[in-house]
Amino acid sequence: MFSGSIPALVTPFRDGAFDADAFARLVDWQVREGSSALVPCGTTGESPTLGFDEHYRVIDCCIEAAAGRVPVIAGCGSNDTATAVRHMRHAQAAGATAALVVAPYYNRPSQAGMIAHFKALADASDLPIVVYNVPGRTVADISAETLCELAEIPSVVAIKDASGDLARVTMHRAGAGKDFCQLSGNDDLWLAHAAMGGMGCISVTANVAPRQCADFAAACAAGDWTRALALHDRLFDLHRAMFADTSPGPAKYALSRVHDWFSPELRLPVIPANADARAAVDAALSAAGVI
Do the Cβ atoms of 201 and 185 come closer than 8 Å? yes
Q: Are 273 and 245 in contact, with CB atoms under 8 Å apart? A: yes
Judged by DSSP in three states, 195 sits in helix
Q: Roughly what angle, to the nearest 10 degrees, separates helices 249-258 and 275-287? A: 50
- Whether residue 77 contacts residue 108, with contact meaning beta carbons closer than 8 Å, is answered with no
Whether residue 119 lies in the annotated active site: no
Q: Choosing from 56, 105, 119, 160, which is the catalytic residue?
A: 160
Contacts of 179 (CB under 8 A, 6+ apart): none
Phi, psi of 184 (to 5 degrees): -70, 145
Q: Using an 8 Å Cβ cutoff, are 217 and 191 in contact?
A: no
Q: Residue 62: name the closest of 50, 53, 71, 51 by CA.
A: 71
H or E segment to which residue 89 belongs: helix 81-94
| 132 has catalytic annotation | yes
Report CA 81 to chain centroid distance, whole Å.
20
Catalytic residue among 56, 105, 132, 253: 132
Opening angle at CA 245, ends 104 and 265, nearest 5? 85
**Catalytic residue positions, numbered:** 132, 160
